[in-house]
């Protein structure tokens, strides 16, 4: 076993001596290990990525506050992530080399899916994220720190896009005139949700901000949700961000970087499935939030497309890419999804009404 990892684990209040610690999972951000102790108990050890997360203290403060709050509500201990404290009683360890480490209890008897195997799986992920929203409806969201400032401030994303377009550091602007035009034609509408928040028409909520299926743990036996994981981007926001990002990713018929746009659209059946699951688990949404669900889906998709386009103009510095032009391909699928949603707008609104 790795000596350094053992020394780190020594500083956490585990139940018994460590017998193994192996690299685990497919995450792209943090470094993760599965730890087993002499009693057979399992833990997850993670080194927090400080390049992506500059404010680890704020991030860990958010996770501790939200998980402690949820623990009072859930009945199954697997219904919430549990941080294991350090021997000094802290929620994370600051190592002498400057890295930050944390330990969670392993969520036993659970599965985690990369893609839905059936529409029911997608439905259950909607229930999981709806539950998360519902359970935290009275949590004072403003007390959480904004882990990544302006993360879903769509208006601010446009400001950064305009800056990138004006600077055109890679000389790519001329190739993307159609995409630029598509984005700019929707700039005013893109501010709809942030304007409603500022006007007090939408409530500030605790949001997860990475509402993909693989961030839900399902019970291995019942295939029903246990808890949501990857709480690093939990911060104050709008419920519509979480709903919208799920639709953007989960109701799309093709990969985010599909080149053949004729394969890309938003599947209305999957949209309906997710909406039904989310609304059934989250009856506490206000009428304005319900009415704006289609707008949440559209604006999260538009925003993501604008972010990909901005990164393409900037020379692919934020999103990791595997080939030249991948960010432009990603931008195009997102804009195709937006156009498809616009053509299905009345159906999207009708489905929300039918699910209420
Ligand atoms: C990033 O790292 P990943 O794939 O979970 C991004 C999301 C985007 C997504 C698009 C912290 O998420 O906001 O929607 O890529 N996360 C961050 O694929 O920027
Ligand atoms: Mg993630």
Q: What is the pLDDT of residues 146-201, one digit of tens each?
A: 999 999 999 999 999 999 999 999 999 999 999 999 999 999 999 999 999 999 99
pLDDT at position 173 is 98
Cβ(304) – ligand 1 distance below 6 Å: yes
pLDDT at position 24 is 93
Ligand nearest to the CA of 233: 1
Distance CA 23, CA 18 (A): 14
Which amino acid residue places its CA nearest to atom 18 of ligand 1?
256
pLDDT at position 100 is 97
81 CA to centre of ligand 1 in angstroms = 21
Cβ(329) – ligand 1 distance below 6 Å: no
Buried b (16+ CB within 10 A) or exposed e, 127-136: bbbbbbbbbb
pLDDT at position 29 is 85
Give the closest residue to 208 by CA, choosing from 247, 248, 240. 240
pLDDT at position 26 is 74
At 240-281, the pLDDT tens digits run 999 999 999 999 999 999 999 999 999 999 999 999 999 999
Give the closest residue to 180 by CA, choosing from 197, 162, 160, 154. 162
Ligand nearest to the CA of 334: 1
Ligand 1 atom with minimal separation from the 148 CA: 11
The answer on pLDDT for 27 being more than 80 is no
The answer on pLDDT for 116 being more than 90 is no
Cβ(256) – ligand 1 distance below 6 Å: yes
Mean pLDDT over residues 59-67, rounded? 98
The torsion angle over the Cα atoms of residues 285, 287, 288 and 289, rounded to 10 degrees, is 20
pLDDT at position 25 is 85
**Would you say 108 and 221 are in contact if contact means Cβ atoms under 8 Å apart?**
no
Distance of CA 330 to the CA centre of its chain: 17
pLDDT at position 28 is 74
Predicted TM-score of the model (pTM): 0.93
Q: What is the share, in percent, of the chain residues with pLDDT greater than 90?
A: 93
Cβ(303) – ligand 1 distance below 6 Å: no
Best residue among 112, 147, 210 to mutate for probing ligand 1, ranked by most atoms within 8 Å of CB: 210
Ligand 1 atom with minimal separation from the 318 CA: 19
pLDDT at position 44 is 97
309 CA to centre of ligand 1 in angstroms = 14
**Would you say 49 and 59 are in contact if contact means Cβ atoms under 8 Å apart?**
no
Which amino acid residue places its CA nearest to atom 5 of ligand 1?
210
Which amino acid residue places its CA nearest to atom 16 of ligand 1?
210
The answer on pLDDT for 292 being more than 80 is yes
The answer on pLDDT for 115 being more than 90 is no
230 CA to centre of ligand 2 in angstroms = 6
Cβ(210) – ligand 1 distance below 6 Å: yes
Average pLDDT of the chain is 96
pLDDT at position 39 is 98
């Amino acid at each position: 076993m790795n000596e350094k990892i053992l020394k780190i684990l020594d500083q956490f209040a585990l139940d018994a001596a460590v017998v193994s610690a192996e690299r685990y999972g497919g995450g792209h951000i943090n470094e993760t290990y599965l730890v087993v102790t002499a009693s057979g108990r399992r833990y997850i050890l993670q080194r927090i990525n400080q390049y992506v997360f500059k404010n680890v203290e704020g991030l860990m403060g958010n996770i501790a506050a939200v998980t402690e709050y949820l623990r009072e509500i859930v009945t199954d201990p697997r219904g919430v992530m549990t941080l294991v404290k350090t021997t000094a009683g802290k929620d994370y360890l600051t190592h002498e080399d400057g890295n930050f480490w944390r330990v969670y209890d392993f969520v036993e008897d659970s599965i985690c899916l990369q893609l839905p195997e059936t529409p029911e799986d997608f439905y259950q992920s909607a229930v999981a994220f709806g539950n998360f929203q519902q359970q935290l409806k009275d949590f004072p969201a403003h007390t959480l720190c904004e882990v990544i400032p302006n993360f879903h401030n769509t208006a601010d994303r446009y400001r950064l896009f305009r800056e990138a377009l004006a600077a055109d550091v890679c000389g790519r602007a001329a190739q993307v005139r159609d995409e630029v035009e598509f984005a700019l034609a929707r700039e005013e509408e893109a501010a709809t949700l942030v304007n409603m928040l500022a006007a007090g028409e939408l409530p500030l909520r605790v949001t997860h901000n990475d509402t993909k299926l693989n961030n839900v743990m399902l019970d291995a036996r019942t295939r029903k949700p246990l808890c949501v994981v990857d709480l690093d981007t939990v911060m104050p926001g709008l419920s519509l961000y979480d709903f919208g990002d799920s639709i953007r990713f989960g109701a799309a018929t093709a990969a985010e970087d599909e080149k053949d746009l004729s394969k890309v659209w938003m599947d209305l059946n999957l949209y309906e499935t997710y909406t039904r699951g989310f609304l059934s688990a989250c009856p506490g949404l206000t009428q304005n939030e319900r009415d704006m669900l289609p707008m949440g889906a559209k604006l999260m998709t538009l925003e993501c497309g604008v972010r990909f386009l901005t990164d393409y103009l900037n020379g692919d510095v934020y999103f990791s890419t595997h080939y030249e032009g991948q960010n432009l391909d990603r931008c195009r699928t997102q804009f195709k999804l937006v156009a498809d949603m616009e053509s299905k707008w009345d159906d999207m609104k009708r489905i929300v009404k039918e699910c209420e």
